[in-house]
Amino acid sequence: MNPDVEFAVWMPERQQRVERVLAAALDARVDGAQRLADAMRYATLGGGKRVRALLAYAAGECAGADAEDVDAAAAAVELIHAYSLVHDDLPCMDDDAMRRGRPSCHVAFGVAVALLAGDALQALAFGEVARMKRSAGGACAILAEASGIRGMAAGQAIDLAATGRPLPIDALETMHRLKTAALIRAAVALGALAGDADAGLTDALDRYAAASGLAFQVIDDILDVEGLSSSLGKTAGKDAASGKPTYVTTLGVDGARRYAAELRGEAHAALAACGVRARRLAEIADWIALRQN
């Protein structure tokens, strides 16, 4: 870690780094299935904030890992995220025609190919995380829990079932701790696993990630109301139009902003004992809570 490098320099460097790792992982030439390979690349490359990869790299730095030790973990969480977006956008799920400022994967390639692309991206993610130099088995278990019935899949199921009816704040938090925060917590855990994180640091980083993951969702809900499709890269106002319960519908815009600030404070508090080595994580917490897209 070079503490003299500004976050505005560090962030794009890491975004570009994981983009190269992802491009290499997706460099497939498959006889008879090239359209599937193209859909996987379309859904993954050339867009997105790479928040989960950034968190993995930052947690790795906090635990003393070099960037190359974190590459596989950073790619894996981005592949899982990409697969989840492909499936979330399908007509049987959220039915969204725009993603990252262009047509959703199923609009560009058809529903069947998009479904397979999501499946293949998920499989590829586990292939990537299995390449980690340290505790590959444990890393696979972390990623599996974040992706399945104890994580994103369960969160999406709750979200679908809740459409059209309000949710109390505790139920809303349960949904988003699974749907959004679980993969963010996994990204941080996998980054730390690439280094030398003891039990105390692992616990602090998990508390940081849990708060940051919810803050990310709260800001997403605010931006769905206040943002523009052109800046968000997806359809603004879609949650309200679909009758989805959000932090804004539950707390109001001002209440949601206060809650995001509270979560930002919790994230910083979790890092208090980590010192300068957690600088990047603290900067990401600020970026998440103050972002405009």
pLDDT value, residue 240: 67
**CA–CA separation, 7 vs 283, rounded Å?**
7
Residue 81's pLDDT is 97
**pTM metric for this prediction:** 0.93
Residue 102, classed as helix, strand or coil, is strand
pLDDT at 232: 56
Consecutive sets of 10 residues in the chain, 293 residues long: mean pLDDT of each? 82 97 90 93 93 98 96 98 96 91 95 98 96 89 96 94 86 95 98 94 97 96 76 61 83 95 98 94 96 85
What DSSP string runs through 159-202? HHHHTTS---HHHHHHHHHHHTHHHHHHHHHHHHHTTT--HHHH
Partners of 11 in beta bridges: none
DSSP 90: S
pLDDT of 286 reads 97
Domains and CATH numbers, the chain: 7-290 (1.10.600.10)
Instruction: Write down the pLDDT at residue 113.
Output: 97
Residue 31 pLDDT: 82
Backbone angles phi, psi at 198, to 5 degrees: -85, 180
Distance CA 196, CA 130 (A): 18
- The pLDDT score that the predictor gives to residue 241 is 66
Helix axes 169-179, 199-226, angle to 10 degrees: 110
Is residue 50 within 8 Å of 18, Cβ to Cβ? yes
